[in-house]
Structure 1
Amino acid sequence: MEIGVLLPTGTAQWGADDDPRELVGFGRRAERLGFSSLFVNDSLISPRIEALTMLAALAPATDTVALGTAALLPFLRRPVQVAQSLASVDLLSGGRLAVTVGAGFPGRFGRPLYTLSEVPWERRFARLDETVSLWRALWGGARSFQGEILRFADIPPTTRPFSTGGPPVWLGGATPSALARTGRMYDGWLPYPPDPADYAAGLLAIRTAAADVGRAAADITPAMFVSVRIDSDVERGRRAMDAYARAVYGMPLEELDQIQAVVAGSAAQVLERLGQFVAAGARHLVIRLGALGVRSQHDQLERVADLIPALRAAADTAAAPGGS
């Protein structure tokens, strides 16, 4: 069982006096507290530290934690260039990189970004899959690539990653198409469904698709992205999470609840709810801390860290014969 944390790289999550350079120290502290991964997200919707820049800063400052994206939007970048950037971060971290990718969503979180990047919205999922195939080819030493959408000849030698074959690439999303594509070609799954039953059903669909092409269930990391706020009780925790949702997403918590996994309440209540996702099959939790201001983020980081032993014990129980 792996427990990771999303770094607060967006300016909407900072206080007036917060220094973004504190994020490196935040990552080091998470590592000392027992978190096994540090993730960053990626967007042009609101100002933030660019994802790969943040990971490059964390790579030499940390020792054991995995470094990941949740999720990287490849259409914002030139595909050969980003293969080079990801290989470089993998080298600098000694092979600790995991790359979750996504194609964006309709509305303000997706289509406008395609306009900014001058990439067609149409066939975005095929473009994403081809981009990942291109990366893997370049990481293996290929000098050309011929896909349906992406075609490159006479590519100069590119940087080879630390990991043989390159870092694992996970997919975000839980549509039927995303589940099938995850099973066929991706190394992990990082969705955020509000209901543990939906997570379990999605994971079953992925494993069925994987078996259809001769892949084993163990080839795909079952991860889960979830926003967490630990407070004295559910009501107080949800008030704080509502303020977070309005500041970061511009929407009330009741709307965010409909599309993302959000858990708030006392430590015992949060543990119980996260345990339901663990029982549904999640084995790498990426936790976004529902707090505004770096000081408050540090407080939530410590509270969540206290749950790590119990979450790992829950995973052991679920994996035991007769468990979930």
Structure 2
Amino acid sequence: MAAMDIGVLLPTGTAQWGAADPRELIAFGQYAERLGFSSLFVNDSLISPRIEALTMLAALAPVTEAVTLGTAALMPFLRRPIQAAQSLGSIDLLSGGRLTVTVGAGFPGRFGRPLYALSELPWAGRFGRLDETVALWRALWDGAEAFHGEILRFDDIPPATRPLRAGGPPVWLGGATPAALARTGRLYDGWLPYPPDPADYASGLRDVHQAAADAGRAAEDITPALFVTVRIDDGGERGRQALDDYARATYGMPLEELEKIQAVVTGSANQVVEALGRYAAAGARHIVARLGALDLHSQRDQLERIADLIPAVQGASELKGEHRARCPRQS
């Protein structure tokens, strides 16, 4: 079984890098690669000030060597679809074929309807628009000169920037609703949710695999990933207080509320390895760790602490995989 990939979400929001020079984020990404992280992901939003996602990846592409560069998650409705295909194809070229694109349609609340209003697009039909946008990208990356969907229709499309890889970069879907699970299995190359309970991850992944099988696809064609906020701290309540500060600054809600809707792992190094191991047992094979800290110095400290755990987390995932092979799930 392939080793678990451990990646990191770069702190591109101003709430995470604070008073630091934002250009230090490039060095931060290079340092993460040297520490052994296998991927660098960036978030996408118009709500909080941040370095724009594709701009950040374009800056990292020529100064990194092997890490996957990814979005977690890109919201395509914020961009013109053909322009986004051009940008993504360009980043894939500049990175030597290292791009992975996780997409999402937004969700109710401050990360949903207000952004659609700013983009002058309807909230209704957003999932169909997302799927068609990805289909358009793939068609353009394959050299199509026209595209006729139910929502998006284009004729006489000029030659697009072709990614390095045939067919373009893999496209993952974020989300864990029943509809999202079904669409992941039918249409996407990976799954990047953030369920608080590993049992929900396991059941969701089973649904993804069933949908894939129903569509004639192999389970192995879909990368099972996990987006999780991580903080290593031996201080117990001190660590939880730091995460509470992070949750309030990032989402405007206390930690106890964030834990109800997103995967959050904290505690000592051993406790974090154990918690991530439970997601590995549930089937996760690519972890994107968001660092629970509010300034670049503290982010770097957490980066180093998590890097020290990479061998242990990968070892735990291999042991869990061997156990599943010996003890298949009973139907």
Q: Please indicate the TM-score interval, normalised by the length of the shorter structure.
A: over 0.9
Separation of aligned partners in 1, 2:72 and 2:271: 25
Looking at structure 1, the residues matched to 67 and 163 of structure 2 have their Cα atoms a distance apart, in angstroms, of: 17
How far apart are the structure 1 equivalents of 2:60 and 2:306?
21
SS in 2 for 1:42: coil
* Separation (CA, whole Å) in 1 of partners of 2:18 and 2:46: 20
Which of 239, 243, 261 aligns to 2:263? It is 261
Equivalents in 2 of 1:275, 1:217: separation in Å? 21
CA deviations 1:84-112 (Å, max 9, x no partner) are: 00000000000000000000011111110
* Aligned-pair CA distance for 1:233: 3.8
Corresponding residue for residue 145 of structure 1: 147
Aligned partner of 2:326 in structure 1 is: 322
Structure 1 runs of 4+ aligned residues shifted over 3 Å read none
Quick one: distance in 2 between partners of 1:14 and 1:38?
A: 16
Q: Is the 8 A contact 1:101 1:171 kept in 2?
A: yes
The match for 2:30 among 24, 28, 31 is 28
What RMSD over aligned residues (CA atoms) do the two structures have, in Å? 0.8
Where does residue 16 of structure 2 map in the other structure?
13
**Which structure 2 residues correspond to residues 222-241 of structure 1 after superposition, within 5 A?**
222-241=224-243
- 2:8 maps to amino acid: V
Identify which of 268, 271, 294 aligns with 2:273. 271
Per-residue CA distance 1:46-80 (angstroms, 9 max, x = gap):
00000000000000010000000000000000000
C-alpha contact 1:3 1:35 (8 A) present in aligned 2: yes
Counterpart pick for 1:95 among 97, 104, 120: 97
Aligned to 1:302: 304
Structure 1 unaligned runs (5+)? none
Q: Give the whole-Å Cα distance in 2 for the aligned partners of 1:83 and 1:323.
A: 44
1:250, distance to aligned residue in structure 2 (A): 1.0
Amino acid corresponding to residue 147 of structure 1 in structure 2:
G
Counterparts of 1:1-324 in structure 2, within 5 Å, are: 1-16=4-19, 18-320=20-322, 321-322=325-326
Does the 8 A contact of 1:170 with 1:188 survive in 2? yes
> Shift in Å at residue 323 of structure 1?
6.0
Identity of aligned residues (%): 76
1:133-170 deviations in whole A, cap 9, x for unaligned? 00000000000000000000000111000111000000
**Cα distance per residue 1:257-304 (max 9 Å; x no partner):** 111001111111111111100110000000000001101000000000
Q: Which amino acid aligns with 2:85?
A: A
Instruction: Give unpaired runs (5+ residues) of structure 2.
Output: none
2:156 match: secondary structure: coil
CA distance in 1, matches of 2:203, 2:240: 27
TM-score, normalisation: structure 2: 0.96
Deviation (angstroms), 1:234: 3.2
Give SS of 1:165's match. coil
Q: Secondary structure at the match of 1:306?
A: helix
CA distance in 2: counterparts of 1:123 and 1:264, whole angstroms: 37
- For residues 222-273 of structure 1, give each alpha carbon's deviation from its aligned partner in whole angstroms, at most 9, with x where no partner exists: 0000000000143222111000011111111111111100111111111111
